[in-house]
Amino acid sequence: MRASPHRDELLGFLSTRRDESDAERALPVDPRRAEHPATLVLVDSAADVPRSLSAHAALRVLPLALRLHGRRLRDARATSERLRRLDGARLRQARVELPDAAELAWRLHPNLALNADVLIALGDLLGDASAALQQMLAAHDAEIRELRASRGLPAKLALHRIDCGGAFAVPALHARVLVHELERGRRSADLVEIATKLPRATRQWLLPRTPRQLGDTLQGCAQPRLQPWRDACAGLTLLSGHPLLYGDADGLRCTARVRGWTRAVDALCAQVHDALRERSQLQISYDGSIAELTAHPAVDALRAHATRLGATLHVSHMSVASRVRAGAGAIAVALLDQDG
């Protein structure tokens, strides 16, 4: 690749590991927390969470990292907009890496331990950053207990690691639901119970436009549940078509192979259309122009169908980490039945 001063400057900026604007800030301790524990929902930066939700006071986004051209770039709020400027060709050369406990410590410790009493961390099927969070809290356990006691808080900071059963749009939708329930005044015990039940009520679809890139990602994941998706993305040719990947509480599978991108999007929308129920919650994330996606006739028809049913539809851009994992132009869908 030809050297570029602009590229070197960009990567140099992105590789800066310490950015105080991205660190957890100390918040006043509410005396009512003795009766109403403060709860925070955590996802990692691969979740397709829109900017408005990521800025919510009850949500925290754990930064992943991208390995690109020998540099380790932190995918955090301070750098995400510049990372988005990297085109698909460069992102194809990147890989997503989970944070380690030390990286999380300088960003979160000790303020996170004082700002919350209960942490609900939603684990991604392709990699769970909450393991590093658990290690960080364990390493600083004695200090955390002393700090909390000095502020009149219960000594124990509770961490609940929840396997959300999916990736891409799934953790984003689950986070949205939990934040909404927090706003309604749900207690932390109820929120943990809701979080554990959400995966069984969730369906997910993934339509890769570049299946080989997704296949490379899946080959690098040790999760056994991903094997049906790995098989669907293996050994593809131009004549194989786009694999339409699906998952629910019974597992993951490939439901179809469709030649031609427009027909593949039509097939995806048809499956989601048939699965929609009254007052379902639906999230679609896309690596591309949202205006172009929603102008697609099948997507427009799906949106109209959701409106008729009283279902809630959210459309967002894929996160940078999702773009790396799923490949350029991918579409991810998460559907939650109201009963969930």
Provide the pLDDT for residue 75.
73
- List all residues 6 or more positions away from 63 whose beta carbon is below 8 Å from its beta carbon: 22, 44, 45, 74, 75, 76, 77, 99, 103, 107
Q: Both tokens of residue 108? A: 């979160």
Higher pLDDT, 72 or 270: 270
Tell me what pLDDT residue 76 has.
Answer: 61
First to last CA, the chain: 49
pTM: 0.89
The token pair that represents 36 in the structure block: 């109403």
* pLDDT (average), residues 103-113: 89
pLDDT in tens, 231-253: 999 876 656 899 999 999 999 99
Tell whether the model's pLDDT for residue 190 goes beyond 50. yes
Which token pair is 55? Answer: 């800025």
80 band by pLDDT with thresholds 50, 70 and 90: low
Higher per-residue confidence, 73 vs 162: 162
Identify the pLDDT of residue 71.
83
pLDDT at residue number 13? 35
Task: Confirm if 47 and 171 have CB atoms less than 8 A apart.
Answer: yes
Give residue 304's pLDDT.
97
**Strand residues in 76-117 grouped as ranges (E):** 95-97
Average pLDDT over residues 177-195: 96
pLDDT at 84: 62
pLDDT at 9: 33
> What are the chain's domains?
5-199 (3.40.50.10170), 201-336 (3.30.1180.10)
Comparing 24-33, 40-49, 294-303, the range with the smallest average pLDDT is 24-33
71-80, 96-105, 296-305, 326-335: which has the minimum mean pLDDT?
Answer: 71-80
The percentage of residues in the chain with a pLDDT greater than 70, rounded to a whole number, is: 87
pLDDT surpassing 50 at residue 1: no
Quick one: which of 97, 170, 99, 165 has its CA closest to 130? Answer: 99
Percent of the chain with pLDDT over 90: 68
User: Cβ distance 70 to 299 under 8 Å?
Assistant: no
Beta strands in the chain (DSSP E): 39-44, 59-62, 64-68, 71-75, 95-97, 118-123, 158-163, 202-207, 242-248, 251-258, 281-286, 312-317, 331-336
Phi, psi (rounded to 5 degrees) for 39: -115, 135
Does the pLDDT value for residue 298 go beyond 50? yes
Pick 80 or 212 by higher pLDDT: 212
The pLDDT value given to residue 339: 58
Report cis status (omega within 30 of 0) of the bond before 110. Answer: yes
Is residue 115 within 8 Å of 148, Cβ to Cβ?
no
- Give tens-digit pLDDT for 2-23: 444 444 433 333 333 444 556 8
Higher pLDDT, 206 or 24: 206
- For the ranges 60-64, 79-83, 256-260, 297-301, the lowest mean pLDDT is seen at 79-83
